[in-house]
Structure 1
Amino acid sequence: MKKTEILNSLRVAAVADALGVPAEMKKRGQYHLLGMTGEGTWSQPMGSWSDDTSMTLCLIQNILEQGTADDLLNKFERYMMFGEWTPRGMTFDVGRTCAHAVRQHAINHVPAVQCGDASENANGNGALMRIAPLAFTLVRQPIDARIRQSIAMTTVTHGHPRAVVGSVIYLEILHELLQGHTLPTALKTVQARVLTVFAAEPVMAQELAAYQRLFASGFGQLPVSAIKTSGYVVDTLEAAVWVALNYQDLRTGLLAAVNLGGDVDTIATVAGSLMSVAHPDQPVPADWWQVTLNHELLDKLMVPFAAEFGDWWAN
């Protein structure tokens, strides 16, 4: 993937987030978005992006700086407490599990990779929503290195094995898409891979059962009524993959994602990353990108990231 395509993918995810923010947690069927709008759930102006993009920017900057997991959590703290990496210098949406991790690190001085809540009720999508850029950095790494980094960058906020497995599945799907494979082929490959990788780790292996519907034959043909859209990590990954399987056109797919109801900003962010990597020839919709807030901050981090890993990959 060229640096222009990496940059496009990062922008698509941010636009998808902003597209979904006004409708976050609204019920399916009670609204219908036709494009970028404002106000809504969080009473934010049009083009505002949420914690999905803010925490993604933290990860991007941490990668560029070759920072540690502790450095990353320090950035999350500055985002949460001081509004850094936000569209207008203010934080308006922080997930409970992510906030818990930040407090564990900042107040209790727990090592970063141990800060993620390991309880079963902490399996939200707060790691999934921000972890996609890692796929670009790991594309040439062997499977063991990819898994190790996927786990480390998840457990800073989400410590339960189910959330970790979700991140691994998502990043491995992106890895296969980056090799030029189709999404249906990627799903088959990743299913076999995670079964092998986690075979010797019973705690992880038993969590694969939560994701079996994702890999089932005919998953993409399920009706929309069968797709759940809560903030639960399994629901989010399923919904995003379902959108990416059913829509080849980026604009149409993103609109479908944000009209599903529920945690649609994150579903659209994840689906946008999948779709933009699967279809790198499709540019971010220009009219939506134009009204997305704070291009200066987005490009300050996204442009050098894309240049570094796009150029590196091309060598």
Structure 2
Amino acid sequence: MKDQVLAGLFGLCVGDALGVPVEFNPRTYLKENPIRDMIGYGTYDQPAGTWSDDSSLTFCLAESLCNGYDIYDIGHKCVQWYHKGYWTPYGEVFDIGNTTRMALDTLCYELIRPDLAGMTGAHSNGNGSLMRILPLAYFLKNTAFEEKVPIITAVSSITHRHIRSIIACVIYVEFACYLLNGFDLDESYTKMQTSVKDYYKDEQELEHFKAILDKSVTNYAEEDIHSSGYVVHTLEASLWCLFNSETYAEAVLKAVNLGEDTDTTGAVTGGLAGIIYGIHSIPETWINVLASNNEIYDLAERLAEKCQST
């Protein structure tokens, strides 16, 4: 379990950090100036190895789960990140999505349950809950699907409460759970499809996930893959990168070089790629340059210990 948690958390964080310097750059620019290694500065003028809100909020969730599942504590840690720089590389927040910002303001300033703070509009389906949901896979990997869904729903709903964002998170966590339980890439995908389609069989929103649930997205040409901040685009892009790569590095570099929301596509891809290929597949030079890498290692150890005991 320890190596699996290390692989997922470091895999996600490295993918995030690779994408931070070129976030918002179009694919055409990255075709001419591709990311091949960990670089610094660029979009946010941050040193190499700096990770963003994707990793910060992932670590907030992981930290909370070290003490068991408590939606109030998860929400509190997210607010602490936003207002006090908790689990940030250098003590301050330099990147936050609008939907996440509004939800955490609501959670901070109104007397509201954390899972009621998120935005519910169809236009509030950014990737801000998908990017941080991975730690639930470790916590829920031996839990029945119908028992996983309410927990994933609640954790997504802290910031993103629309059913589309929730289903994206369910797909991602369920896929990760099968990978963690030893199934290969294709088996995990097939089993995830069955679970999701059976559970949401009467849900019209599944139409937005057609390319994922019939697996056609894995065979798309690159020009048909979008890499915006829309949650369905991020999930599609990440799955496409996984099915069209043979190593961790190839998957995350492919994700980042799609352009636009580079850090989140890199993070969402990187978490799963880490699990698939293992901690030793992640270039050591990339891990070594990460900000606070010792703290991340300690967090992974604590989360693994907790998940082994549950």
Report TM bin, short chain. Answer: over 0.9
Distance 1:103 1:28, change over 3 A: same
Aligned twin of 1:123: 125
Structure 2 length as normaliser, TM-score?
A: 0.94
Give yes or no for contact 1:23–1:41 (8 Å, CA) kept in 2.
Answer: yes
Stretch deviating more after TM superposition (267-276 or 230-239):
267-276
- What one-letter code is carried by the residue in structure 2 that aligns with 1:94? I
Aligned twin of 2:207: 209
| Consecutive unaligned residues in structure 1, runs of 5 or more | none
Aligned twin of 1:113: 115
Aligned twin of 2:242: 244
Residues 138-287 of structure 1 aligned to structure 2 (within 5 Å): 138-199=140-201, 202=202, 205-280=203-278, 282-287=280-285
Shift in Å, 1:284: 2.0
Q: Provide the C-alpha distance between the structure 2 equivalents of 1:154 and 1:118, rounded to a whole number of angstroms.
A: 11
Distance 1:272 1:308, change over 3 A: same
Aligned twin of 1:18: 17
Stretch deviating more after TM superposition (229-238 or 266-275):
266-275
Aligned twin of 1:29: 28
Give yes or no for contact 2:185–2:276 (8 Å, CA) kept in 1.
Answer: yes
Give yes or no for contact 1:250–1:282 (8 Å, CA) kept in 2.
Answer: no
DSSP-derived class of the 1:37 partner: coil
DSSP-derived class of the 1:29 partner: helix
Describe the superposition over 1:220-259 as per-residue Cα deviations: whole angstroms up to 9, x where unpaired.
2211100000000000000000000011211121111111
- What one-letter code is carried by the residue in structure 2 that aligns with 1:9? G
Q: Provide the C-alpha distance between the structure 2 equivalents of 1:143 and 1:243, rounded to a whole number of angstroms.
A: 26
Matched, 1:288 2:286: yes
Stretch deviating more after TM superposition (129-138 or 248-257):
248-257
Shift in Å, 1:219: 2.6
- What one-letter code is carried by the residue in structure 2 that aligns with 1:277? I
DSSP-derived class of the 2:27 partner: coil
Give yes or no for contact 2:209–2:232 (8 Å, CA) kept in 1.
Answer: yes
Describe the superposition over 1:255-301 as per-residue Cα deviations: whole angstroms up to 9, x where unpaired.
11111101111111111121122223743210001111112332332
Q: Provide the C-alpha distance between the structure 2 equivalents of 1:101 and 1:55, rounded to a whole number of angstroms.
A: 14
Q: Provide the C-alpha distance between the structure 2 equivalents of 1:45 and 1:306, rounded to a whole number of angstroms.
A: 29
Give yes or no for contact 1:248–1:275 (8 Å, CA) kept in 2.
Answer: no
Shift in Å, 1:67: 5.2
Give yes or no for contact 1:241–1:274 (8 Å, CA) kept in 2.
Answer: no
DSSP-derived class of the 1:260 partner: coil
Q: Provide the C-alpha distance between the structure 2 equivalents of 1:120 and 1:263, rounded to a whole number of angstroms.
A: 19
Q: Provide the C-alpha distance between the structure 2 equivalents of 1:282 and 1:89, rounded to a whole number of angstroms.
A: 29
Stretch deviating more after TM superposition (98-107 or 290-299):
290-299
Give yes or no for contact 2:141–2:178 (8 Å, CA) kept in 1.
Answer: no
Give yes or no for contact 1:180–1:278 (8 Å, CA) kept in 2.
Answer: no
- What one-letter code is carried by the residue in structure 2 that aligns with 1:37? I
Distance 1:116 1:289, change over 3 A: same
Stretch deviating more after TM superposition (67-76 or 48-57):
67-76
Give yes or no for contact 2:11–2:273 (8 Å, CA) kept in 1.
Answer: no
Shift in Å, 1:14: 0.8
Structure 1 length as normaliser, TM-score?
A: 0.93
DSSP-derived class of the 1:80 partner: helix
Q: Provide the C-alpha distance between the structure 2 equivalents of 1:185 and 1:208, rounded to a whole number of angstroms.
A: 21
Structure 1 vs Structure 2 CA RMSD: 1.5
Stretch deviating more after TM superposition (149-158 or 171-180):
171-180
Q: Provide the C-alpha distance between the structure 2 equivalents of 1:303 and 1:182, rounded to a whole number of angstroms.
A: 24
Matched, 1:95 2:97: yes
Shift in Å, 1:7: 1.3
